[in-house]
Each structure stands twice: as C-alpha cells, then as structure tokens.
Amino acid sequence: MPAKLSVNLNAVAMLRNRRDLPWPSVTGLGRIALAAGAHGLTVHPRPDQRHIRFADLPELRALIDDEFPGREFNIEGYPTDAFLDLVEAHQPEQVTLVPDDPSQATSDHGWDFNKQGAFLEPIVARLKKKGFRVSLFADPEPGQVAAAGALAADRIELYTGPYGGCHDESEKAAIELEKLGKTADAAAAVGLGVNAGHDLTVANLPPLVRRIPALAEVSIGHGLTADALEHGMAETVRRFLKACAG
C-alpha cells in the first residue's frame, strides 16, 4: 500500500499571516487538498502562532469531521502543557511530538531518545491513554531506535531534511537515503511504524518509498506549497500521491 499523504498547512498559514486578511484560506486550501485525495492534514501550532493559529484548529477539525470523515488530522509540536491541552481539545487522529525550541524557524532535528526518554515516556502514556496515535520525530540514526521503541509510541517520523537538502547531489542523497532506510529497518524490528517528513518533493519521494516500502505516511508542507503556486493545490496533491506510489 502506498504511503499516505498528509498535507502540512503551515506554509499556507505563514503566507496568510503576512497580512491582516483571511486569505489564502487555510481551511479552504485544506478542503481542496482533501478533495484531491490527500489522506490528512498536518499543522504545527507554535506558541507564537506565526504559522497556524490556534483559531485554525477547530475549523480544520470540523472540516474533516463534516466533509471528509475517515481522513486524519495530525497535530505536531513540542509537548508543553499548553500544547497537550490543545491536542486534547481538538482530538487529532495522530500527535507528532517534535523537540523544537519555540524560536526555531522549523523542525530541524529529532529527539535524543537515549537522553530524553524519561521526559517523553509519561507524555506518550498520557496521549495513548486518550486514544491518540503517537509519532516521535527521529533523526536517521538506527542506534536511537531501540530507546524510541521502549517508549510505547506507535511510530517514529523520520526527519528527512538532510536527504532533501541533497537535491542536486545524487551521491550524497544516496548516502542519506540509506541512513533513513536503515533507521526504518530498525524501527520495524522493534514494532514501530514509520512516517517521514521534511523537504520531500515529487522527485525525491519515489526513491524514499522504494527503499522503505512499509512507509506509513509522509507529511509535506514546504515543497508541496511551492509546487501549488505553479500547479494549483489539487493538481499538486495528485502529483504527490503519484510520487507516494513510488
């Protein structure tokens, strides 16, 4: 089964937030993405609301519930008490925990599970008790996976930034791809599902899904939004869905 596509709406929200105006509509473009076949929507509500605003969350939750039942809402973020309260209020199908400092422009590294496991364990347990699927942002480091598996999360999300950064260097891309593949292999060995995200494109996604055939989901925002400026959101989603099939 091809990897599912979750459209990350942060870049759309960032464009909207340049003006005190309601366009482009985050919910409206989410609707177009879902109608074109996207399997879900991803948001990262940072404390300063510089991308997704807290007010977007109930609208997106209602969009999925009312118009696209069966699709998924994925909320990602650093697990402060305020973030966990947002999650519990808006009931996403999946929660992706990332080790972002609030001042970071974007997610750029995974958890150090060997050092941060004690911090994550009760948070994962709280979210699991509420019925959420839990994914943990992870660097492509196979040696970290056993510690991640001990936390009772459902999945890891592979940070694919270094792979995406090799867009014009095929030899380096192959090296980074193999790191991702070996980490996915290690995750499967301990019973963790695998998601992936960051700087994925229609060009580099097919090699990734061929190397990780059990890849469950990709969350894509920047590259997808950039392509949507050229092709439109609906056609861009269709292009990425094709890429997800390898």
Domains located in the chain, CATH noted: 4-244 (3.20.20.70)
CB atoms near residue 230 (< 10 Å): 8
pLDDT given at position 106: 63
The residue from 39, 44, 51, 90 that is catalytic is 44
pLDDT given at position 173: 96
pLDDT given at position 57: 98
Is 198 an annotated catalytic residue?
yes
Hey, what long-range contacts does 80-85 have (CB within 8 A, 24 or more apart)?
80/47, 82/47, 83/45, 84/123, 84/126, 84/127
Do 237 and 5 form a contact (C-beta atoms < 8 A)? yes
pTM of the predicted model as reported, rounded to 2 decimal places = 0.96
Lookup result for tokens 């050092």: 115
CA 239, CA 231: separation in Å to the nearest integer? 9
The residue from 72, 76, 141, 157 that is catalytic is 76
Angle between helices 233-244 and 222-231 (to 10 degrees): 130
pLDDT given at position 37: 98
CA 142, CA 129: separation in Å to the nearest integer? 28
Is 44 an annotated catalytic residue?
yes
pLDDT given at position 1: 86
The residue from 39, 51, 90, 198 that is catalytic is 198
Nearby residues of 151 by Cβ (< 8 Å), 6 or more positions away: 113, 117, 120, 121, 124, 136
pLDDT given at position 119: 97
Residues in the chain with pLDDT < 70?
102-107
Structure tokens at 4: 């599912």
